[in-house]
Amino acid sequence: MKTSSTETSVFMGLAIVATLTLACLQMAFILPEGLLGAGNSIAERNEFIQNNLGLWQLGWFNWMLAALGLLTFCIMLLPFIPKSEWRVLGILLVGLGIVPDIGAEVIFAFVIPYTHTIDPTLATMQTLELIAVQLTGTLGNGLYNMGGLLLNVLLLTNQRLPRKLILIGIPGWFFGFGLSIACAMHAFDAAKFFTAAGMVWSTAWMFGLTIKVFPRTNELKADY
C-alpha cells in the first residue's frame, strides 16, 4: 500500500520527537558526569568518559541525530509558512547552527576521549571542553533559536493553523536563548536549567505539531 506524504510527515515527526526525547534522557542520566558543570574535577570527568566510552559516544551520536532532526523538522514546517525572504532567513539560520553544533559533538564524542594519550596533564582536554561548550551551547544553539523563533513567528501569519498551539512554541526558543547566554557566561548551573526547560518544552511542542498539524497538511498549508 502506498504511503501518503501526510503519513510520511507524521512518521518523520514522531521519529524526530523520539530522537529528541532520547537525547533529553541521555543528557539527564548518562552524559552529565563527563561534562563541565558536573561539580567534579577534570580527572574525574576523564575517568568517567574512559569507563563509559561506548555510552558516551552513543549519547553524542544521538545528539548529532537530534541536531539533524531539528533541521529536518524546521524544513517540514516550511509548507505552512507563506513564502518570503524571512522564511529563507529562518531556515538558513537553523541550518547554520548545525555546523558548530555537530562540530562540538564530534569533539565531545571522538576527540576529547583520546586527548589523555597525547597530554596526560589533561590541559588539552580542558581546553577542548571549553571550545566545544561555546560551539554548541553559545553559537550553534544561538543560531538554532534565532532561526526557530523566526519560523515560529512566521507560522502565526498562516491563519489556518491553530493559533494557540503555534504560540505555545515561542517560550521554548527563549529558554534556548537563556542557554546561550548561560554558556557564554560559563554559568553552567543555569545552563543545565535552560537545557532541560528548552528541550522538554520544544520537544512537547513538536509532538503537538506532529499530531495536530501534520495530519492536516493539505488543509492547513499556506498557498501563497
The yes-or-no verdict on residue 223 having pLDDT over 90 is no
Task: Cell 538554532: give the residue.
Answer: 144
pLDDT of residue 2: 47
pTM: 0.96
3-state secondary structure of 117: helix
pLDDT of residue 1: 45
The dihedral region occupied by 186, where left means phi > 0, alpha psi between -120 and 50, and beta the remainder, is left
Q: How far apart are the first and last CA of the chain?
A: 32
Cα 94 from Cα 90, distance rounded (Å): 7
Q: How many CB atoms are closer than 10 A to CB 99?
A: 14
pLDDT of residue 3: 59
**Percent share of the chain, pLDDT over 70:** 99
The yes-or-no verdict on residue 53 having pLDDT over 70 is yes
Tell me the per-residue pLDDT of 85-118, one tens digit each, with 9 for 90 and over.
999 999 999 999 999 999 999 999 999 999 999 9
Angle among Cα 215, 219, 223 to the nearest 5 degrees reads 125
Cα 219 from Cα 33, distance rounded (Å): 47
Cα 56 from Cα 48, distance rounded (Å): 9
Rg of the chain over Cα atoms, rounded to whole angstroms, equals 19
Q: CA dist 193 to 28, 154, 183, 203, 211, Å?
A: 11, 28, 11, 15, 27
Task: Cell 537545557: give the residue.
Answer: 195
